[in-house]
Each structure stands twice: as C-alpha cells, then as structure tokens.
Amino acid sequence: MSTDMKIGVVGAAGRMGRMFIRQVNETDGCVVSGAVEAPGHALIGQDIGVLASVGEIGVALGDDAGTMIEIADAIIDFTAPAVTASNAMICKEAGTALIAGTTGLNDDQNAAILKASKSVPIVSAPNMSVGITLLLGLTEQVAGLLGPEFDIEIVEMHHRHKVDSPSGTAIGLGEAAAAGRQVALRNVKQAVRDGHTGARKKGEIGFATLRGGDVVGDHTVVFAGEGERIELTHKAASRVIFAGGAVRAALWTRDKAPGFYSMKAVLGFED
C-alpha cells in the first residue's frame, strides 16, 4: 500500500495550479489525489495530468472542493481570499492540512484561517520561495540593527494581471521591517503618495508598486540613510520556485501538530 502523501490542488486549471500539479507529480513522496476548479469551468472532467502536460494520471478535474479535501492529506490553495477562507473551514472538519498562498485576505478571512489552524496544520505565506523567506528574515534583522535615521521603502513589481497592490509579499516585507523596529505596520505604513504630500514622515515604511509585462515578481527593501543606502533584493524568474516551496510545505505538515505556521518554520528558521 502506498504511503505517499495525498495532495489536492485548488484552482488546478490555472497557470499556478497546473504548475502545482507538475511539481507534485515530479516530487518523491507525494501524489496528486484531487484537483478542483470553480463550478462551470470549461475543463471540468478532463484529466488534470494532461492539462498540466505530464500525461494522464487518472485524476479528473472536478468542482467539489469538499470531496477533494476529505480524501487529501493536504491541499494547496493559491486562489481567492473567500475561497481559501471557506476551504480552511472544510479542512478543519476533514482534518486536512492547508498550504495557503492567497494574498489580499481581510480580517474576517484571516480569522477563519487562524480558527482552522487550531485543528489542523496550516502553512500560510504570501510567498513560499526559499529566497523570499531568507529576505524576510534579513529585512527584520537589518531593520532592527539600523536606527530610525534610515528610511525604509519597499519597491515591488509584478505582471500587468496582478489584482492586489501592494503585493502580499511586499506587505510581508513591511511587517518584517516593522517587527525589526518593534512597531505595528498599520501605524507606519505609507502606501500612497500623490500630489503635494510634504516631507517624508520619520519612521514610516513606504511602498511603491509597479505593474507591467510578464514580471513574475521583483521585491527590493531600501534602507536609505544620509550618504549611504542599503538594498536587499529578490527577483523571481520563474513561478516554479513558488510551486516547489508549496509542495515542500505540504510534505512538511505530515505528522505536524495543528498550528499556524510560516515558511520560516518549514525551512527550520523558527519553531
């Protein structure tokens, strides 16, 4: 009897979803156990392996997330806030781990995921690449070491189709910088500058958003002081890094206690 971990994918027919299917299929120790899309999707019923260009795997694209979650050991969900929050509650009842990379969640949706994490392991991160996880840690460390005379600005660029701004990763970097300075991001965040805004306020963490072309994701944290500037940058050249991190997180949840985990925990940077 196979002991491979059974992983389901939500939004499996999309660009990232197909990449998750390929990554699971190519990774030892796990198998694709299910794949779903929204009801009415034109590709419902087709073999998800064929759609993901890995050949037939005997798993048809479905539209019933509940059934898929019940038979999976873990699911990967990088879809929409309302969908991820709803699936978190299904995971809670089914005892299924959740790997959530969805960004733009509101307070109620975040609360639903936190509630579910009391019953099942949940790994949630705006970006699951190893490089971004390192950048988050470095940003917090540098922000804590440098004094308030260094202004912090976060610059991000993504493809023209991205719907949320600033990106979830940029917000995560802002939270890391704020943690390093022992302040709450909501009290120092400045995401909009337009017109005659006056001088920059001391201690604020600024965000600049760029959109265009097919940019996968570029993020730079700028620490600007008098006479010198430090920049920490990560550039994603392929979405494969996100898929690899998500599958790694799914495998990591096996036999883990219920809880709300970050990629730092998955990579061993924190408990």
232-252 exposure pattern, b = at least 16 Cβ within 10 A, e = fewer:
bebebeebebbbbbbbbbbbb
Q: Would you call 158 a catalytic residue per the annotation? A: yes
State both tokens at 154.
């976060």
Per-residue b or e along 47-63, where b marks 16 or more CB atoms closer than 10 Å to that residue's CB? bbbebbebeebebebbe
Identify the active-site residue in 41, 162, 256, 264.
162
92 is catalytic: no
Tokens of 157: 């660029």
The owner of tokens 């969900």 is 77
Query: What six digits make up the tokens of 135?
Result: 């950048």
Residues in the chain: 271
Of 218, 215, 20, the closest CA to residue 101 belongs to 20
Which member of 6, 158, 189, 234 is catalytic?
A: 158
CA angle 249, 59, 38 (to 5 degrees): 75
CB proximity list for 52: less than 8 A, separation 6 or greater: 12, 18, 19, 21, 22, 25
Annotated catalytic sites, by residue?
158, 162
